[in-house]
């Protein structure tokens, strides 16, 4: 059976690329952020549609489904409103406009009735009414639904990221494939980025402009030189510590200004992974934070994934958002393989 997928909230194409690697063709990705177009279309055989999900019509989506037997809609609604940080610290967490985007996703599913649906997001979403409503509507529409909290290293992502993955099918029970890696087989930071050329803070690799690291201040250069793999700011001399480190609240953030460990998966890659002070994003050995390329590889993007060029320049902050917000490619591949296996069972 010929199948085709549409990727909602596609960003720069992490999920699209993963589905493609599993053998599922993706016709188009929809996203409100026009700056994602270059990377999305440069690396995927799919069309980028710059449109707000609230404005997308069923006719528009179904136009991509013509002449295909199996219609698939996937997507990852922006997860910031559902993050633990937003729910705990931001007063506007549940009033953020993005909070309701999952309802728009649900509307498109209800109107278009694809055969397969997949949704990926942060684990804390499962505690929210919008998620319960999403599942309830899928059930009402006759879908078989399964969801799991996934530890990404189980599927080849060299990063300790946990994600919610939902699969739904009109055909019958659908399941995420079992983990592909055992704990002692996880891909590590060393395996992922250990062979990249060495660069200093503030330097750009001459062979790869994305392999560039942020410039450190004088004091942060001193701090990282006293940092050890997996360590904390407690490894520094007293005069290098911040005022907040001497307060009780500061003691609860030991991973800030830390180095990653070579022989473990990395911490979760955020949109600010290129900043030494934003988490444990110090390189295991080199005195700098992660480069943009290293962050992309830890998100399991292929080494040659194109994010920018001379005609399509991007600022560091924009690239960090693009990379940090992406669905890890290898998780996308696992979702695609799960769908493929399910469809083979249906064919029998």
DSSP per-residue codes, 203-270? -EETTEEEEE-PPPPHHHHHHHHT--BT--GGGS-GGGS-GGGGSTTGGG-TTTTPBPPTTSPBPPP-
7 by DSSP, 3-state: which? Answer: strand
Q: What is the pLDDT of residue 271?
A: 95
- In this prediction, residues 156-176 reach a mean pLDDT of 97
Looking at the fold, whether 159 and 51 belong to one and the same domain comes out as yes
Same domain, 34 and 111: yes
How many other CB atoms sit within 10 Å of the CB of residue 73? 22
Q: Indicate whether 221 and 160 sit together in one domain.
A: no
pLDDT for 223-282, tens place per residue? 999 999 998 888 898 888 877 766 655 555 566 788 999 999 999 999 999 999 888 999
37 and 162 both lie in a single domain: yes
> pLDDT tens-digit profile of 291-342?
999 999 999 999 999 999 888 988 999 999 999 999 999 999 999 999 999 9
Least confident of 9-18, 73-82, 154-163, 187-196: 73-82
Query: Do residues 48 and 94 both lie within one domain?
Result: yes
**Rounded mean pLDDT of 91-100?**
58
Between 85 and 222, where is the model more confident?
Answer: 222
CA 29 to chain centre: 15
Query: What confidence score (pLDDT) does residue 347 get?
Result: 79
Q: CB of 224 within 8 A of CB of 204?
A: no
Do residues 336 and 299 both lie within one domain? no
Position 202 pLDDT exceeds 70? yes
Alpha carbons 32 and 49: distance in angstroms, whole number: 8
Q: Could you tell me the residue range of the domain that residue 150 belongs to?
A: 3-181+328-347
**Average pLDDT over all residues of the chain:** 91
Please determine, for residue 30, whether its predicted confidence score (pLDDT) is greater than 60.
yes
What are φ and ψ of residue 161, in 5° steps? -95, 135
Same domain, 107 and 222: no
CATH of the domain at 27: 3.40.50.150
Confidence of residue 86 (pLDDT cuts 50, 70, 90): very low
Q: Residues near 44 by Cβ (< 8 Å), separated by ≥ 6?
A: 13, 16, 17, 20, 26, 29
- The answer on pLDDT for 93 being more than 80 is no
The active-site residue, picked from 10, 36, 79, 152, is: 79
Domain count across the chain: 2
What are the beta bridge partners of residue 312? 309
Backbone angles phi, psi at 235, to 5 degrees: -80, -10
Same domain, 201 and 155: no
Calculated CA dihedral for residues 171, 175, 177, 182, nearest 10 degrees: 180
pLDDT, residue 99, reads 64
pLDDT at residue 158, rounded to an integer: 98
Give the burial string for 298-337 (b: 16+ CB within 10 Å, else e). Answer: bbbbeeebebbeeeeebeeebbbbbbbbbbbbbbbbbbbb
pLDDT for the residue 348 = 59
Q: Is 152 a residue of the active site? A: no
Cα of first residue to Cα of last residue in the chain, in angstroms, is 12
Residues 227 and 316 in one domain: yes
Question: In the prediction, which pLDDT does 89 show?
Answer: 40
311 and 243: one domain?
yes
Q: What is the pLDDT of residue 248?
A: 59
Q: CATH code at 216?
A: 3.90.120.10
Position with higher pLDDT, 12 vs 83: 12
Picking from 206, 216, 196, the residue whose alpha carbon sits closest to that of residue 287 is: 216
Residue 88 pLDDT > 50, yes or no?
no
Do 87 and 24 lie in one domain? The reply is: yes
Do both 201 and 107 map to the same domain?
Answer: no
pTM, entire model:
0.92
């Amino acid at each position: 059976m010929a199948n085709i997928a549409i990727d909602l909230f596609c960003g720069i194409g992490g999920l699209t690329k993963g589905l493609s690697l599993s053998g599922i063709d993706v016709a188009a990705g929809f996203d409100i952020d026009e700056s994602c177009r270059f990377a999305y279309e440069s690396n995927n055989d799919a069309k980028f549609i710059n449109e707000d999900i609230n404005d997308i019509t069923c006719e528009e989506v179904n136009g991509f489904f013509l002449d295909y037997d199996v219609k698939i809609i996937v997507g990852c609604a922006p997860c910031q409103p559902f993050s633990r940080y937003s729910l705990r610290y931001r007063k506007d967490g549940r009033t953020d406009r993005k909070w309701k985007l999952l309802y728009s996703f649900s509307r498109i599913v209800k109107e278009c009735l694809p055969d397969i649906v997949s949704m990926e997001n942060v684990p804390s979403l499962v505690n929210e009414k919008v998620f319960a409503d999403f599942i309830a509507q899928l059930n009402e529409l006759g879908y078989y639904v399964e969801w799991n909290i996934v530890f990404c290293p189980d599927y080849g992502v060299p990063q300790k990221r946990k994600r919610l993955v939902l699969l739904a099918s009109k055909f019958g029970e659908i399941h995420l494939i079992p983990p592909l890696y055992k704990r002692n087989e996880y891909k590590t930071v060393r395996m992922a980025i250990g062979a990249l050329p060495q660069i200093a803070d503030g330097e750009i690799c001459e062979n790869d402009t994305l392999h560039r690291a942020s410039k450190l201040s004088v004091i942060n250069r001193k701090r990282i030189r006293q940092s050890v793999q997996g360590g904390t700011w407690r490894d520094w001399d007293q005069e290098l510590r911040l005022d907040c480190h001497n307060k009780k609240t500061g003691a609860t953030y030991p991973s800030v200004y830390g180095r990653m460990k070579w022989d473990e998966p990395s911490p979760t890659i955020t949109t600010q992974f290129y900043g030494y002070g934003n988490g444990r994003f110090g390189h295991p050995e080199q005195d700098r934070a992660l480069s943009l390329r290293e962050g992309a590889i830890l998100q399991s993007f292929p080494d040659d994934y194109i994010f920018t060029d001379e005609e399509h320049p991007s600022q560091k902050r924009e690239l960090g958002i693009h990379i940090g917000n992406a669905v890890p490619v290898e998780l996308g591949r696992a979702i695609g393989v799960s769908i493929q296996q399910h469809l083979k069972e249906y064919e029998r």
